[in-house]
Each structure stands twice: as structure tokens, then as C-alpha cells.
């Protein structure tokens, strides 16, 4: 699987996880309808299934996924929560992506 496909898969996986956690947050913190828990559960099931599509071993996939998750979460912070990102957010994202790259692009046998 090419690096661009893997990166896109990581992004979609992170989005599924964030949606699956954000919807219950809306129910519990903002008093939204409990019906949001149904799409939340579906999104978390999608997240778990998407993780199985990654070509690397599970532990390596989870480790590399963390970098992608951080970046997608920061984009969520900016575009859904409407908060401006700081230079510390950007620096953390760069560091997380660097760590992800070291894990994901290691030579294979």
C-alpha cells in the first residue's frame, strides 16, 4: 500500500474515532439528544474496522496512528471547535508526524 493511501487511511481512521467520541461528549456536556449515541457507536465500530485495513502489525499501526490522530484532532479543534491553533499546536503536530514517519517508513525485510 502506498504512503499516500496509508496517510489517507490514517486520517479517515482518526476522523471516525473523533466523531465516535465527540458525539457522546455532546450528549454528556451539552445536553444533546441521546440518539447521538447510535451514530457514535457506529463511528467507533468503523474506527475499529479501519484499523484492521492497515498493512503493518497491529502494535506498529497503533503507534504510528497516534501521530495522525494528533494532527486530525488539531484540525478538528480549528474547524469544528473554532479555536485558533497556536505555534505550540503546530510544533507538536510536526513532532508527532516525525515520530509517525520514523515508525511507518522503517525498512521492511
**Segment 28-54 mean pLDDT:** 95
Q: Is 86 helix (H, G, I), strand (E, B) or coil?
A: coil
Closest-CA residue to 38 (of 62, 51, 19, 57): 19
55 near 6, Cβ under 8 Å?
Answer: yes
More confident site: 45 or 53: 45
pTM: 0.85
Please give the angle made by the CA atoms of 17, 8 and 98, to the nearest 5 degrees: 90
Alpha-carbon dihedral angle through residues 77, 33, 37, 78, given to the nearest 10 degrees: -10
pLDDT, the chain, mean: 91
Amino acid at each position: 500500500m502506498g504512503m499516500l493511501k496509508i496517510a489517507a487511511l490514517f486520517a479517515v481512521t482518526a476522523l471516525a474515532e473523533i466523531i465516535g467520541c465527540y458525539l457522546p461528549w455532546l450528549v454528556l456536556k451539552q445536553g444533546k439528544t441521546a440518539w447521538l449515541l447510535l451514530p457514535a457507536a457506529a463511528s467507533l465500530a468503523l474506527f475499529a474496522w479501519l484499523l484492521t485495513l492497515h498493512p503493518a502489525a497491529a502494535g506498529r499501526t497503533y503507534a504510528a496512528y497516534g501521530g495522525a490522530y494528533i494532527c486530525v484532532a488539531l484540525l478538528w479543534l480549528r474547524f469544528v471547535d473554532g479555536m485558533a491553533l497556536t505555534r505550540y499546536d503546530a510544533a507538536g503536530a510536526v513532532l508527532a508526524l516525525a515520530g509517525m514517519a520514523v515508525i511507518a517508513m522503517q525498512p521492511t525485510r
